[in-house]
Structure 1
Amino acid sequence: MTTESSKVDWSLADGQGYILDRDRSRSHIAACRLNLQHYLWKEALKFNIHPSILLPKNNTIADVATGTAMWPIDVARQFPDAQIHGFDNDIRQAPHRDWLPLNLSIRYWNIFEELPNDLVGKYDYVHVRLLVLVIQEGNPRSVLRKLWKMLKPGGFLQWDELDCVNMHVKKVDPSLQSPALDEIREMSWANGRHDWTIELPRFMTEEGFQDAKIEYFGDGPELSRAFNEQHLLTMEEFASSLIKIGKVEAGLKFHRLIEDGYQESTIGAALCIPRVVCVAKKPL
């Protein structure tokens, strides 16, 4: 029989919904992590909207699971003639509406609830990023169907995710020992819990999208340490959330590994979780 002590990995999040940021006394730290994450992704990808996507003038853009809204704020500057809407089930992390660009608004919507009627067929482009910790049982179909409904005919979907299949520990010297980061990598893989992300083009095609394609983005050496620290922040938030829901032993184990993993990073090791960008089109 599997016990908590013998099964300590990200599968402990199953059935918990979005498990991060459960400790509301530290929500500012969670917001800082999301902001850091945005700028690191932008530096790694070199774009917000994939260069293959050509949008009409005066287009409408949706950002689903917008978090702190840094992505749509960035895009609002790029496309001042666009109407941009950000959606999340917790909009408290986004700036006050008076501090947003004039062409951007933020609105409550939980992606696991029905799509409001006024959003059906409204958008030329829909963006979503990092639902890897939200999608249960490796099946993004129900989410894809709602994103499909948001798009106009001929509209584009862009889904950015982590590639947990090719997760690895990068080292300045192959002989360098990194037992803590190696264990964090194995625990994060969680027996393939997140492998569905690299199958997104197949899911998109099966749900009716056209021209679905995937592009892979790794960590350059100059960003490896920064991404490592951001991953450790995520792990720390996860560990604290485990303790909050009563999985104390598992949470404390994660905290110990994070401390040891950071020390390993100071001598030239880094946890690398590559990124994928999946783009597809709703048929005319």
Structure 2
Amino acid sequence: MFSLETTSTTTADNIITDRMNLHHYLLREMHGYLVHPSIPTDNPNLRVADVGTGTGIWLTDLARQLPSTVSLDGLDISSEAAPPKEWLPKNMTLRRFDLMSEVPEDLTGVYDIVHIRLFAFVLKNDHMKTAMDNLLKLLKPGNYIQWSEPDILSWRVRTTTPDKKTEALTNLMTISQPRDERLKPTWIARLTDDFREHGLSSIDADFKDPSLEIIMPLHECNLLIHEFLARKAQSTEWAEWIKKILPEVLRETREGAAWDFTRVVVVGQKPL
């Protein structure tokens, strides 16, 4: 765990990048797939978009499962977290894309699969209509969107035995949530409803709780988010409070307490 006080911005951002890659493999282990089993992938000329691609790890992993004739497009507002293009699969490209802005004409209606995940700390509740409208503009009629998120409001503390201390872990979440809207998104619980309201069919929602062996690594990924939010916060008082409580949070973690969240993958098909 890095220190807010002593770690440089560059090092801290590298740790966040490492976190995204680790988180990807933990989610793949948890759900058991990259593309939901209800989505057909047998077309050798598929065109796949990964919105908010970050490090590109979902697409680079997917490239090993699909033919090299498939086109893989990583769309993000920045490609700074991604590797150099020479280290990406030959059939993968990166492109600047802002989900909240107008969809470029050459990206309208061209994708067979649109994948998006981990926007819980990006989208606010009133962003969802624009986000859904733009995601559907990317899709060909009759094709599929897959959206994966942690349900932040489902959080609870899991312990190895009932006597473990959880006060610091509980306080960090309950005090942080009112200070930052990104820590209390209600739109995630409504994803399936949003899919229906936008006319999607063949909707499938896969709710999963982590198995015991990955609760701890997922929890440690989540702790980094609080350090990152504090580092970016304008309120130095809040950042100082997080710095003071984190040692006790880490003690509780090492002794057998961790946050636990339900995670969901929602799939839908765009009408013909």
TM (norm. structure 2) is 0.90
Q: 2:222 aligns with which of 228, 231, 234?
A: 231
What's the RMSD between the two structures over aligned residues? 1.8
User: 242, 254, 266: which is aligned to 1:266?
Assistant: 254
Report Cα offsets for 1:24-61 as digits up to 9, x if no partner: 56321221111111111111111111111113331110
Q: State how far apart, in whole Å, the 2-side matches of 1:157 and 1:256 are.
A: 42
Q: Indicate the residue corresponding to 1:63 in structure 2.
A: 50
Q: Aligned residue for 1:46?
A: 32
* Conserved 8 A contact 1:165-1:189: no
Q: Deviations 1:61-83 (Å, cap 9, x if unpaired)?
A: 00000000000000111112311
Change (3 A) 1:23 1:115: farther
Task: Give the structure-1-normalised TM-score.
Answer: 0.87
Note the residue ranges of structure 2 that are not aligned, 5 or more in a row: 1-7
Contact 1:138/1:195, CA 8 A, preserved across alignment: no
Separation in structure 1 between the aligned mates of residue 243 and residue 229 of structure 2, nearest angstrom: 9
Mean Cα displacement is larger for which, 166-175 or 117-126? 166-175
> Counterparts of 1:238 and 1:60 in 2: how far apart (Å)?
35
Question: 79, 84, 90: which one pairs with 2:72?
Answer: 84
Alignment of 1:175-190 (within 5 A): 175-187=163-175, 189-190=177-178
- Work out the CA distance in 2 between the residues paired with 1:172 and 1:276: 24
Whether the aligned pair in 2 keeps the contact of 1:64 and 1:127 (CA below 8 Å) is yes
In 1, distance between residues paired with 2:149 and 2:38?
18
Instruction: State the percentage of identical aligned residues.
Output: 32
2:85 aligned to which of 97, 106, 131: 97
Q: Given the alignment, which residue of 262, 266, 270 partners 1:278?
A: 266
5 Å-filtered alignment, 1:76-155, equals 76-80=63-67, 81-155=69-143
Following TM superposition, the consecutive aligned residue runs of length 4 or more in structure 1 with deviations greater than 6 angstroms are: none
Distance 2:201 2:245 in 1: 43
Aligned to 2:21, which of 32, 35, 42?
A: 35
Q: How many residues align?
A: 260
Structure 1 residue 193: Cα displacement? 2.7
Partner AA of 1:31 in structure 2: T
Distance 2:241 2:209 in 1: 28
- Is the Cα–Cα contact under 8 Å of residues 139 and 270 in structure 2 kept in the other structure? yes
Q: Which moved more, 1:230-239 or 1:62-71?
A: 230-239
Is the 8 Å Cα contact of residues 164 and 252 (structure 2) preserved in structure 1? no
**Paired residue secondary structure (1:78):** coil
